[in-house]
Chain A
Amino acid sequence: MTLPGFPEAAPLAGLVGGVLIGLAAAVMLLGLGRIAGVSGLAAKAVGLGGSGIVSGGAWMFVIGLPLGALVVMLASGGIDATFASPAALAIAGLVVGIGTRLGSGCTSGHGVCGVSRLSARSIVATLTFMATGIATVAIMNALGLEGL
């Protein structure tokens, strides 16, 4: 299925993927009473959360992420992925790590769990990171840095 005017878009795969992400977050919420926020759980898994305690549950969630991607990779015969240079990945990772802790969440915690709860903090955070993400890509493209 394609979208008229957007030959690269994969709306159906996107929607099915999104529903799976929603189900994953619903399992966490209804099963364990917690938010499936990846930045928070990743921090907890390595003892960088608020309590400083290494969380076994968080570890299991974090290990599940690549396992789930592996299932899709094996079932589909490969996943297209084009990554930035090592330097860009290192800078981006550092900024994402600092930003998500200061901002108390990322695309999953704020963008999916918080927005669907109509949390004002999450809606503001999501609009903010969407805006700066869009601006960053626009500026990089304008400077000819899109292949960085």
Chain B
Amino acid sequence: MRTAITSLISGILFGAGLALGGMTDPARVRGFLDIFGDWDPTLAFVMGGAVIVMAIAWRIVPRMAGPLFTGEFHLPTKSDLTPRLIGGAALFGVGWGIAGLCPGPGIAALVIEPASAAIFVVAMLAGMAVVRFTEGASS
């Protein structure tokens, strides 16, 4: 129950931050990526604000015996720079550039422009399913 409530609070804060920061407007996101044209730097402030808060949170982690509401930390441990990581990130960037949406804003926008956001989200889940079922449990 505490996991569910904590997850919901995190999601609500996250969605509110995306909407307030302008990330749920694909035109603004594409404006941020348009550095050779009519550049809109707003998203640099969004990322900066988020990274500063999280940098503080990461400093707190080593001082904790465990997370506040569950048994232990489940954090990524990989450190190798693989072709899969770089190729996947490159592909993601292409999709981000085409529509100006990444996963969080796509899902949050379901209440802003439901039909458009739903097309993106369903296609995204289909893409995830493609990876899942072509690679099985290894992904």
Min CB distance, B29 to chain A, in Å?
A: 9
A90 interfacial contact with B, CB 8 Å = yes
A29 to B92: give the CA distance in the assembly, Å: 24
A129: which of B44, B74, B93, B132 is its contact (CB, 8 Å)? B93
What does DSSP make chain B's interface, helix, strand, loop or mixed?
helix
Residues of A within 8 A of B76 (CB): 35, 104, 114, 119, 121
List CB contacts (< 8 Å) of B10-59 with chain A.
10-28, 30-31, 33-58
**Interface residues as binary, B90-129 with A (CB distance below 8 Å gives 1, 0 otherwise):** 1111111111111110111111110011011111111111
List CB contacts (< 8 Å) of A73-104 with chain B.
73, 79-84, 86, 88-104
Residues of B within 8 A of A54 (CB): none
A27 to B13: give the CA distance in the assembly, Å: 9
Q: Given that A29-B54, A31-B68, A95-B98 are known contacts, is A121 also in contact with B12, CB under 8 Å in the complex?
A: no
Q: Are B104 and A81 in contact (CB under 8 A)?
A: no
| Nearest residue, chain A, Cβ from B20 | A17
Q: Are A42 and B107 in contact (CB under 8 A)?
A: yes
- CB pairs A–B below 8 angstroms (19 shown): A9-B41, A17-B23, A22-B50, A24-B14, A25-B50, A29-B67, A63-B11, A65-B12, A68-B12, A71-B15, A93-B120, A94-B95, A96-B120, A99-B88, A102-B139, A108-B103, A112-B50, A112-B51, A140-B98
Residues of A within 8 A of B (CB): 3, 6, 8-36, 38-39, 42-43, 46, 48, 50, 52, 56-73, 79-84, 86, 88-104, 106-108, 110-117, 119-121, 124-126, 128-138, 140-141, 146, 148
